[in-house]
Amino acid sequence: MPAIVLIGAQWGDEGKGKATDLLGSRVDYVVKFNGGNNAGHTVVVGDEKYALHLLPSGILSPGVTPVIANGVVVDVEVLFEELDALSERGVDVSRLKVSLNAHVITAYHRTLDKVTERFLGKRQIGTTGRGIGPAYADKINRVGIRVQDLFDENILRQKVEGALDQKNHMLVKVYNRRAIEAEEIVTELLSYAERLRPMVTDTALLLHQALNDGKTVLFEGGQATMLDVDHGTYPFVTSSNATSGGAVTGSGIAPNRIDRVIAVVKAYTTRVGSGPFPTELFDESGEYLRANGFEFGTTTGRPRRCGWYDAPIARYTARINGVTDFVLTKLDVLTGLAEIPVCVAYSVDGVRVDEVPVSQSDFHHAVPIYENFPGWTEDITGVRTFDELPQAAQDYVLALESMSGSRISAIGVGPDREAIVVRHDLID
């Protein structure tokens, strides 16, 4: 029975939220397995626009059970705010389940995120400032606070005191900030316990049983392959595994249960924050993509860096994640361009390289080798079958498919829920 992983193919904001929402009515569980409220997913349903951060996008589909699994870092205050905002708009959020093993983002993680970024100066990552990196660092350092700790006051106090011991020395002596009182943190975290209690459970067991019962489970990745802490453009990455492997460790579901891996890929490329980006545009074409694609961050509002489609990155994503299907989004944004360049390989210090180089210096030096494709001018936002697309748009999609290492099963032609061309069913 289907366990489907859906991940981002590039540097995030590919339209994962919309793709999850598209499948939402046909799945029983949607699981967030990595990241936290650094994610920003915009889903448009009719006249309504939803911005989701910590909650999986599947929450908008009636009947779906949304799950925040162990691999996520949870800012509980943000969680409650997001739940309240959705409830006020009539979304049923009562089925949400949260893992007892998920880690908690506290005020000191948010503070550390901001001060360490400032300290890095021009080497800064450009994080979302939500405390994601410091919370994962504590997890790996074994001084993290988990959701289950909120239900045991003594343990919570010991752990918060332990976590703050070293941090307060750093904050005061290195970063010139005031020390954080353990008791303030403990009081705040304890105040969440009562509301959280009915939502928490052993989500790994829940999902295991759901799969045994023949339910359909969709694992929705936050961020994307090139932001993955192991496989992305380190150190300009997020602090979790955003690739399909992260769905396994981040949920407690074994790898041999995964049936399908869907990667969402934009018909061009964007990136928020610092780090290498070979096809980045600094001219009016970049402005065109930013304006037409409305490329401004859902979480921080920052303008996204824009560039052409990078086929070596798509092939890399196909390989690292075991992609079975691509969902190609935002094809409509390219409408009106006379020519559309696609990066087919790189030149690294004068040598042609066909795959993403593993050496960071080589990737920094990678200059795209482009192939140009003819554009189209017809409005495609109303198109619902592949054959209705203008010939040049069809040719563009087929060219990307032949270069990207897996089939393109669906094509986004507008922000709306309905604006999609399906070529192959993504679930059966």
Question: Binding ligand IMO by CB under 6 A: which of 248, 272, 348, 397?
Answer: 272
**Which of 65, 111, 116, 223 forms a contact with ligand IMO (CB under 6 A)?**
223
CB of 142 to ligand IMO, least distance (A): 20
Dihedral sign (CA 250, 252, 253, 255): positive
CB of 173 to ligand GDP, least distance (A): 38
Q: How far apart are CA 373 and CA 349, in angstroms?
A: 26
Q: Residue from 96, 132, 150, 182 that binds ligand IMO (CB under 6 A)?
A: 132
Please answer whether residues 132 and 105 qualify as being in contact, where contact means their C-beta atoms are separated by less than 8 angstroms.
yes
Cα angle 277, 280, 286; round to 5: 150
Of the candidates 8, 13, 238, 316, which one interacts with Mg ion according to CB under 5 A? 13
Helical segments of 180-259, H only:
182-196, 203-212, 244-249
243 touches ligand IMO by CB under 6 A: no
Q: How far is CA 132 from CA 74, 128, 173, 315, in A?
A: 9, 8, 23, 28
Which amino acid, 267? A
Q: What are phi and psi of 194, to 5 degrees?
A: -65, -45
DSSP state letter for 386: G
The residue annotated as part of the active site, out of 21, 28, 41, 103, is 41
The residue count for binding ligand GDP (CB under 6 A) is 22
- Rg, Å, the chain Cα set: 22
Q: How far is the CB of 222 from ligand IMO (least distance, A)?
A: 4
Nearer to ligand GDP, 16 or 167 (CB): 16
Q: C-beta of 371: minimal distance to ligand GDP in Å?
A: 23
Annotate 232-253 with DSSP letters as a single string: SSTTSS-SS--SHHHHHHTTT-
Whole-angstrom Cα distance, residue 366 to residue 391? 32
Q: How far is the CB of 348 from ligand GDP (least distance, A)?
A: 29
Block residue for tokens 């992983």: 5
From the list ligand IMO, ligand GDP, Mg ion, none, pick the one residue 239 interacts with, judged by a Cβ distance below 5 to 8 Å according to partner type: ligand IMO
Using the rule CB under 6 A, which residue among 159, 167, 305, 330 binds ligand GDP?
330
Q: Is 425 a catalytic residue?
A: no
Stretch that binds ligand GDP, among 36-44, 60-68, 71-79, 83-91 (CB under 6 A): 36-44
Q: Which does 415 bind (CB under 5 to 8 A by kind): Mg ion, ligand GDP, ligand IMO, none?
A: ligand GDP
Closest separation between CB of residue 139 and ligand IMO, Å?
14
Q: How far apart are CA 188 and CA 205, in angstroms?
A: 29
The correct pick among 2, 7, 9, 13 for binding ligand GDP (CB under 6 A) is 13
Residues 6+ apart with CB under 8 A from 401: 326, 407, 408
Q: How far apart are CA 369 and CA 343, in angstroms?
A: 5
Task: Kindly tell me which residue out of 40, 133, 144, 273 binds ligand GDP, with binding defined by CB under 6 A.
Answer: 40
Peptide bond preceding 235 in cis form (omega within 30 of 0): yes
Binding status of residue 305 toward ligand GDP by CB under 6 A: no
Contacting ligand GDP (CB under 6 A), which of 6, 9, 16, 246?
A: 16
Q: Known catalytic residue: 13?
A: yes
Which DSSP string corresponds to 74-102?
E-HHHHHHHHHHHHHTT---TT-EEETT-
Binding mask 19-48 for ligand IMO (x = CB under 6 A): -------------------xxxx-------
Q: Give the span between the Cα atoms of 181 and 164, in whole angstroms.
A: 8
**DSSP letter assigned to residue 331:** G
Site residues for Mg ion, window 34-53 (CB under 5 A)? 40
Residues that bind Mg ion (CB under 5 A): 13, 40, 298
Contact positions vs ligand IMO (CB under 6 A): 8, 11-13, 38-41, 125-128, 130, 132-133, 222-224, 227, 238-239, 272-273, 298
Q: Which residues bind ligand GDP (CB under 6 A)?
A: 8, 12-18, 40-42, 44, 298, 329-330, 332-333, 412-415, 419
